[in-house]
Amino acid sequence: MFSRNKNYVINLILIILTVLFFNGCFLFPYGSLYVTSNPSGAKVFLNGADTGKITPALIDNIFQGSHTILLTLDNPAMSKTEIVVVEQGQTSSVNIELLAEAKYRALLVGIDKYKEPGIMNLIAPPFDVDRIHQVFEKARFGDRKASFSVINSLVGAQATRSDIFEGIASTFSQASSEDVSCFYYSGHGWVKDGKSTILPHDAKNFDDSLDISVEELAAVLGNIPGTKIVIMDACYSGGFIGKELYFRGIADSEDLQRFNANVIDTFASYDLSGLESVKGNLATQGFQVIVSATGNQQCFETINPHPIDGNPYGYFSKFLCEGCGYNRFNFPYPADLNRDRKVTINEIYQYICTEISQTHVKQDAQVYPLNSSFVFIEY
């Protein structure tokens, strides 16, 4: 009789322990999580692992404590990451509003050869375009590690006035308010009668009718939804052989100063709503601008071989690319000061200024806006 009662008690205890175990209330402090989203139908990732579930979803047997939930939706492309806390023996609930994902596009223009013999040719722009193309190809943004969807290039004779405008239209035609559109130019700049222009391949020597004014460029880019990043290694890059103003692409220091100031002021005037976004990589409307010099300075290129690829380079573009990972793309990336695998506009601007100051070249970049935390490159 005693033995039978003893077995009964033992079996009862085992049953109770089993129930407690599977309910996460004994030894292993488990809980559950109920995840919903707007819109629904999103894939659910828990601490980086695919749960195989879509929202709304109940996930059982989660260890108590903080966890990272990532939701992704393919059509339309949306995602969101949140930190959730799971309590032992309880079902926690979280509703996540998905955000549209930014798409990244770029048009890169580098003009070394000019149609008219009176405009001096340059050396570095095609190689600088190739380097920044590689930087953009390596970039990966956000939780889903999104890459650039479009990277187009116009080099040398491809970059006529009409080609550049058509390239802008075609490259950024699908941009929306969440997207980021990057325009890079390396070539000659010019100032005449207070008007700053960049020189397309078919520019004329004594006639600026085919030039692209900074105001024209700002206007056409300003019509593109989302954030526009404008990088200009212009300002007569490599063209300073003399001071004679009749050479296109050469100007004195006063004109150079006016060119840079006009570029920054013009793009700033088209920034209608400010650029600091609380959404991280998701863009707001406006401009981020970096140009290659300021004050009484000149911009330079060199035929000296780049340490990575052995080709000529412009100093500004060299440090722009190297700061963003053109160090054979090995982490840490030089401009990434806080080692978060993100290079902000301010970080790359500070890096360019610091590195150029350590060379024999007297050249400082300018930036708009100052102290921008907008993410330029991410890996």
pLDDT in tens, 24-71: 444 568 999 999 999 999 999 999 899 999 999 999 999 999 999 999
Residue 283 or residue 291, greater confidence: 291
Mean pLDDT value across residues 263-281: 64
pLDDT of residue 222: 92
Residue 308 or residue 237, greater confidence: 308
pLDDT of residue 91: 94
Give the confidence band of 138 by pLDDT, cuts at 50, 70, 90.
very high
Domain boundaries for CATH 3.40.50.1460 within the chain: 104-378
Give the confidence band of 5 by pLDDT, cuts at 50, 70, 90.
low
pLDDT of residue 77: 83
Q: Is the pLDDT of residue 278 over 50?
A: no
Domain boundaries for CATH 2.60.40.1120 within the chain: 22-99
Mean pLDDT value across residues 274-280: 38
104-378 folds as Rossmann fold (3.40.50)
Q: Is the pLDDT of residue 160 over 80?
A: yes
329/310 Cα distance (integer angstroms):
16
Q: Is the pLDDT of residue 236 over 90?
A: no
Q: Is 16 helix (H, G, I), strand (E, B) or coil?
A: helix
Q: Is 125 left (phi over 0), alpha (psi -120 to 50) or beta?
A: alpha
315/186 Cα distance (integer angstroms):
11
Among 298, 336, 301, smallest CA distance to 128 is for 301
Q: Is the pLDDT of residue 282 over 50?
A: no
Mean pLDDT value across residues 322-346: 94
275/256 Cα distance (integer angstroms):
27
pLDDT of residue 185: 97
Q: What's the CATH class of domain 22-99?
A: mainly beta
